Amino acid sequence: MADIADIAHKADVALTGDMLIGSASVPAAGATMRALNPATGREIEPPFALGGAAEVDRAARLADEAFDSYNRTGLDERAAFLELIADRLDAVNGELAERTALETGLPAAQLSAEAAKAAGQFRQFADVVRQGRFRHATVDPAQPERQPRPRTDHRMQKIAIGPVAVFGASNFPISYSVAGGDTASALAAGAPVILKAHNAHPGSSELQARAIRSAVADSGLHEGVFSMVRGAGNEIGEALVDHPLIKAVTFTGSEAGGMALYRRAQLRPDPIPVFAEMTSVNPTFVLPSALAARGAEVGDGFAERMLVNVGQACLKPAILLAIDGPGYAGMREAAVARAGAMDARTMLTPGIHDAYERGARRLRDAGAASLVEGPEPRGTWEGRSRLLEVDGDRFLAEPALAGEVFGPSALLVRLTGMDQLLEVARSFRGQLSAAMHIDEPDHADAARLLPILERRTGRIVVNAFAHPQEVAHATIHGGPFPATTDSRFTSVGMTAIDRFLRPVTYQGFPDALLPEALSAGNPLGLWRLTDGYLSRD
């Protein structure tokens, strides 16, 4: 294995620490920061420039200048641009994985796979763009003979909402960050992106941003299609949300952070949408027949998925619920064995580690009993695995027990019967996902549980766990508040593009002025809704 210093040198070769605003590399005018290796506690070179409102204004003005031309790019041109981003990400995969590993403590092999997934998302969105269905092209032809009043020609398509501010996330430093699904779906929609890099992985962010910026230049696009800024504290984020040229915001993180941005955006003279993905415990319900047949298998699988990424995943299954009866003891013992054997591992940042310790104390203070703790941590910011248990009455009486603990901790809830299971299910707030483990004899009970879960989540999983998830056309990564600020949309999957689109109707237009997607004869060969029927006419 390469020496850490050698890896750091290789990964730093292309890094300047500049912000990337359009085609310009913007060095520090004042304050700087360095990345922290959470495994060693050491700072990593180089220093990174910190900006503020002036840099946001510069990036926003460029994005606004870029909007009209970029929003009107042809489908093939835009798809080719997205594919070029994917190629550029693949070209720096090794360097990106190594640098990100230094800044996060996550394994380089895992991060290489994450980088490949990020590149794959850009290729998937390129396919979405080429097919053109995201335009929702709709044609209601003129009916001049209609009585009592003729109908004029109406044609509708969806266009990009405007420049989008994307807040990079901490927990998936590539696929939810600079080169993540928010950036990919916004660019696919035709929206220029201003990316606020997360300060936990500035070198990783710069490598991703340089890959995207090079694709912008080599595609012959306006430089304002993509910029990356960075700042200390809240100033730069507030400047992004406040800027009048920004028309939408995406965020992945805590409920407090997401709601602060959401409320600020609603106080603008022109309120804008904030698509925030915030908090979820992804409850897993094990119904009696499945519990009796394979309780130990479910318990082991639950704990294994809970521990992935040191529990730092928005889809971590965090609460396991079952009726005390045949199979419950085996489920508990298997989960205890898996959680108790896991060595403590480095968490992403000191702040996340400290919040994890506070969350674990909150569960104990609310009455949860400790079943097991993993081996003692050896490093300052290592997260120790924990499994706790509580009965259904206590869970219902203490809302704090249903709160997210971001890290390698989970809660077992021991229930008295199906009526209490349904009562507990109704007590949950909005979730990104929920899971049911069932066998055929459980189907009647599952049918009672299902409508409760449908009202509280965007994805329901049967006989598996919420994490991981596929990035696909049917994927939904969203749910009712506080999982997200808008349950009508997803932040993962191909329909994530819908967040950045709005409809425009063109009434009585001469064909020469119509957008290509709506032209007579359908030159793009799109599926269009014509007089209420899908066709390619």
SS3 at position 259? helix
Q: Does the annotation count 423 as an active-site position?
A: no
Helices (H) and strands (E) in the chain, counts: 15, 23
Residue 92: closest CA among 183, 2, 12, 177: 12
Query: How many of the other CB atoms lie within 10 Å of CB of 442?
Result: 22
Structure tokens given for 138: 């709709």
What's the CA gap between 180 and 164, in Å, rounded? 14
E strand or H helix at 43? strand 42-49
The active-site residue out of 95, 255, 277, 389 is: 277
Residue with tokens 């209609």: 146
CA distances from 469 to 458, 476, 490, 492 (A): 13, 9, 13, 9
Distance CA 500, CA 259 (A): 20
The single-letter DSSP state of residue 478 is -
77 is catalytic: no
Amino acid identity of residue 271, one-letter, is P
Label residue 184 exposed, middle or buried (CB < 10 Å: 0-12, 13-18, 19+): buried
Residue of 98, 103, 114, 314 marked active site: 314
Residue 123 per-residue DSSP state: H
Task: List C-alpha distances in Å: 249 to 193, 237, 469.
Answer: 10, 10, 24
Return d(Cα 466, Cα 460) in angstroms, integer. Answer: 8
For residue 58 the two structure tokens come to: 């510069």
CB atoms within 10 A of CB 16: 16
Separation in Å, CA 278 to CA 177, 399, 487: 15, 18, 12
Dist CA 60 CA 21 (whole Å): 9
Compute the radius of gyration of the chain from its Cα atoms.
25
* Type of residue found at 167: F
Q: Given strand 409-415, what is the order of strands in its sheet?
A: 369-373, 386-391, 409-415, 319-323, 284-286, 434-437, 460-462
Which residues form the catalytic set? 277, 314
